[in-house]
Amino acid sequence: MEPRNRISSKALKVWRVSGAINAAICWVITIAILVVTILFDWPYWAIGAAGLISAAVTYISVFLFPSMKWKRWRYDVREKEIEIQSGLFIIKRTLVPMIRVQHVETNQGPLLRKYQLASVEISTAATTHEIPALELTEADELRFYISKMASVEEDDV
């Protein structure tokens, strides 16, 4: 039985945009190589390789990885524990008991803010876990809920 909740479908857009930024950097480098090749008579295979790599990066980081990641991402917040599933090729499922949660916070970078999303970060004494993109209201509710449930019991580390 997989965790039930998916993250916001807008996360897909956010990841595509940030993937596109990465890809754009690759293309800028490719263009730079193109200019240098023309100016200094470099061999043409360099520009071919750079173009191929950039095309691959564009496909992977804009199309392939975001949809794979989004499909895998699930979470469940129950009364006594949080379960998170993530991963691209290796699917990882993490179980965090509520009594181990030390604090929760929501974060919102510029990209997330544009789409009215926020990420929820859950910290235990030793580790941190993130739910990367939820609707802002949902993220706030989750933060309230987790911190309320977490403070019910206090344990020694």
Partner 1 sequence: MFEPKRLHPVAVLSGILQTLKEAIIPLVVLLFLGGSSGKGIQFIIFGVIFFFLIVFSFLSWLRLTYWVEDGELRIESGVFVRKKRYIRFERIHSIDVSEGILQRIFGLAQLKIETAGSNGGKPEAELTAITKQESNEIIAIFNEVKKAGKRKLDSDHVNEADTGKELAKEDETDSASVVFKQTFPQLFLMAATSGGIGVVLSGAAAFLSQFDELIPFKKISAEAQQFIQSGILLMILMVLLLFIVAYLVATARIVLMYAYFTAEKVGEELIISRGLLEKRQLTIPLKKIQGIKIAENLIRQPLGYASVYLEYAGGSASDRDTVNILLFPLVKKEQLKEKINQFVPGYELQTELKGLPKRSYIRYFFRQLFIIIPIVAAASWILWPWGLASFALIPIAAVWAYLKFREVGWNINGNQLQLRTRIVSKQTYIFQKSRLQVFDRRVSYFQRRKQLSTIAAIVKSGAGPREGKLVDLEQKDAEFMNDWFSYSEHKKHP
Strands (E), 35-89: 74-77, 81-86
Provide long-range contacts, Cβ within 8 A and 24+ apart, for 104-110: 104/142, 104/143, 104/146, 104/147, 104/150, 105/143, 106/139, 106/140, 106/142, 106/143, 108/136
Reading phi first (left if > 0) and then psi (alpha if -120 to 50, else beta), residue 131 is in: beta
What is the binding site for partner 1 (CB under 8 A)?
A: 1, 78-81, 87, 89-100, 124-127, 129, 155-157
| DSSP tag of 44 | H
Nearer to partner 1, 21 or 125 (CB): 125
Q: How far is the CB of 79 from partner 1 (least distance, A)?
A: 7
Nearer to partner 1, 80 or 114 (CB): 80
Nearer to partner 1, 39 or 90 (CB): 90
Nearer to partner 1, 54 or 75 (CB): 75
Q: How far is the CB of 118 from partner 1 (least distance, A)?
A: 22
Q: How far is the CB of 147 from partner 1 (least distance, A)?
A: 17
Q: How far is the CB of 140 from partner 1 (least distance, A)?
A: 24
Nearer to partner 1, 116 or 128 (CB): 128
Q: How far is the CB of 83 from partner 1 (least distance, A)?
A: 9
Strands of the 5-6 sheet, one edge to the other: 5-6, 74-77, 81-86
Q: Is residue 11 within 8 Å of 74, Cβ to Cβ?
A: no
